[in-house]
Structure 1
Amino acid sequence: MSQPWSPEIAITPLEAREIIEAQFPQLIPVSIAELGKGFDNTVFIVNDMYVFRFPRREIAVQLLSIENQLLPLLVRQLNIVIPEPIFFGQATTDYKWPFTGYKHVQGDSPGVLSDEVRNLSAVPLALFLKKLHQFPIDQAEKMGVPHDRFERMNIGKRKEMLVDNIKKAADLHLVEEDQAALDWLSTMKETKLNTPITLVHGDCHIRNILVNKEGVISGIIDWGDTHLGNPAIDLSIAYSFLPQSGREPFFQKYGEVSNEIKMVAKFFAIYVGFILLLYGHDIKDDQLIASAKESIKLALN
């Protein structure tokens, strides 16, 4: 059965290099290496200076177009580095979708860090999300930023998917069937949480944040899921990345948040953690598996 991250179009580094050299001769000679495969895009590092994202699925094409308009505005407003689009590639006879090149955001995936190190990112993360969530909704709408089209706040639907993923992870011996997670899920309301509405990153989890050599957050990447929706989707990072001791300073700096939104944020931290765990297993990424397990553990505390 096809996985949600299965590509509709696959592109190799050689194919990407030929397209980039043809459209951006100023980058010749192009050195290129695959940086990773997301659900929606294949990502390459070019000349050790730029990151190029080529859509793997058609749904990513419109999202990439929105990023190209939105990110240049956000770059100047946010306290954490985000990708700045500077190369706008066009479809070719061999590759049918447009693509984008960005300034390379420096940093590494967080991996397994101590609580003390994680807590150093609590305030920067809170300030980042506070500013992002204050972006004018009408301005975002004019740029085509969509409202939530995927029923992300349909907790009943998402809970069923999470229970299924917990069982899949247990069957693969990635985790024991986590009764603590299942017990906690039984308290979740099976209703749609529709308000409030803000501009959100939409995919703010451990695979889309970068840290510096000291383990402190240095960048937030992959804005393909940006939409107008509930801030709980982003606030989940307070549960999936920060330990319990880091959440009080996080929410003090971010501002008042209802207990309902906090509960939904915690839910999404666990929900996404199990998706990343299964994805890491599927692509045989041991570091991602370890990071996902750590993320789930943090969220359940």
Structure 2
Amino acid sequence: MTNPWDAEQVVSPKLAKDLIETQFPDLYPVTVSLMGKGFDNTVYLVNEKYVFRFPRRTIAVDLLNTENSLLPILSSVLPQAISHPIFFGKSVTGKYPWPFTGYYRVEGTPPNTLSKLERMNSAKILATFLRSLHDFPEEKARLLGVPFDELKRLDIRKRKRVAEKYIEQIKTLQLYDQVSSLMSYIEQVDHIDVEQKSTLVHGDIHIRNILVNENNTVSGFIDWGDVHIGHPAVDLSIVYSFLPPEGRSVFFSHYGKVDEETLLLAKFKAVFTTIILLMYGYDHNDRKLIEASKQSLDLMFCEENTLTLSRSKKMEDKK
């Protein structure tokens, strides 16, 4: 099947260097090194100081324009570092059809496999960040051009079918030991008619769009291409894919209580996104992403399985 990360346009290092030097002569001589290829953008580190993102798909162009208007304002009110656009590149006929953007580099690296303690240490940080983001005035976001959720990111009925196809691939490729738990969850999860919410959300917070410092504590948030006005469960999915059960309690003690429906939606989004990341890692031979994705799934399933088995054993012991 067609993958959601398949590119329409790929900017080579040589083309990136040419576009940047031509449009931003103050950066000459430009050095570029590939940082990554996301679903929507090819990303280069420039002069060891800046990050330039070049859209890979048409859908990413409008998203990039939204970032350019929102992020300079948002960066001044959030408690952790986020991408801050400062260079606004233009399309060049015959070379590259879309605009592109350069940012100050956000210090840190994507988390890979982490200990439970390292994850716990970021629970409050994640909570205070998301609380600040979700409290940003909706009207102000709309005036800055932020769209509503046009992709129906929490449509379980629609995305469940996609998840099932990828889970079959995961099973065939033997990518994940607990695939039976994964299959059971997807089979049993029920569709929820989502009530419209009006919260500013990042839209794509996962283990490749957060950064950690040298202590493996969350220090920054990148790739705001999916920012929109929608349901907070889209962002709260990180609670399930990044934090152990104990960390979730700490998180909500600082973020605030949410209803049961939001929790169910957040978990589904976490599972769906992590399945996609696992297959993306396999498709790109990214061993670190594969292992990190498997650990995220373990947080959602193995921890719960262990708890269930423990309770069952206690009940047997009492008999």
Identical aligned residues as a percent: 48
Amino acid at match of 2:294: K
SS of the residue 2:208 aligns to: helix
What residue ranges of structure 1 are gaps of 5+ in the alignment?
none
Shift of 1:189: 2.5
1:70 aligns with 2:81: no
Query: Relative to structure 2, which stretch is displaced further, 119-128 or 163-172?
Result: 163-172
Divergent runs of 4+, >6 A: none
Partner residue of 2:120? 119
Larger radius of gyration: 2
Q: What TM-score do you get using the length of structure 2 for normalisation? A: 0.92
Number of residues of Structure 1 aligned to a counterpart in Structure 2: 301
The question of whether the paired residues in 1 share the 8 Å contact of 2:236 and 2:266 is answered with yes
Q: What TM-score do you get using the length of structure 1 for normalisation? A: 0.97
Shift of 1:177: 6.4
Distance (Å, rounded) in 1 between the aligned partners of 2:178 and 2:242:
22
Amino acid at match of 2:12: T
Partner residue of 1:181? 182
1:56-108, Cα deviation, whole Å (9 max, x unpaired):
01111111001001001111111110010000001112111110000000111
1:38 aligns with 2:38: yes
Partner residue of 1:285? 286
Distance (Å, rounded) in 2 between the aligned partners of 1:297 and 1:14:
40
Distance (Å, rounded) in 1 between the aligned partners of 2:25 and 2:101:
15
1:247 aligns with 2:253: no
Shift of 1:186: 4.3
SS of the residue 2:35 aligns to: strand
Distance (Å, rounded) in 1 between the aligned partners of 2:76 and 2:216:
24
Partner residue of 2:155? 154
Amino acid at match of 2:276: I
Shift of 1:181: 2.4
Distance (Å, rounded) in 2 between the aligned partners of 1:2 and 1:288:
20
Distance (Å, rounded) in 1 between the aligned partners of 2:239 and 2:142:
27
Shift of 1:185: 3.3
SS of the residue 1:95 aligns to: coil
The question of whether the paired residues in 1 share the 8 Å contact of 2:147 and 2:228 is answered with yes
The question of whether the paired residues in 2 share the 8 Å contact of 1:167 and 1:177 is answered with no
Partner residue of 2:103? 102
Shift of 1:3: 1.7
Amino acid at match of 2:140: Q
Amino acid at match of 1:116: L
Shift of 1:260: 1.2
Shift of 1:6: 0.9
Amino acid at match of 2:248: R
Distance (Å, rounded) in 2 between the aligned partners of 1:81 and 1:271:
26
What residue ranges of structure 2 are gaps of 5+ in the alignment?
304-319
RMSD: 1.2
Amino acid at match of 1:251: F
Amino acid at match of 2:127: A
Alignment of structure 1 residues 166-245 onto 2, 5 Å? 166-176=167-177, 178-245=179-246
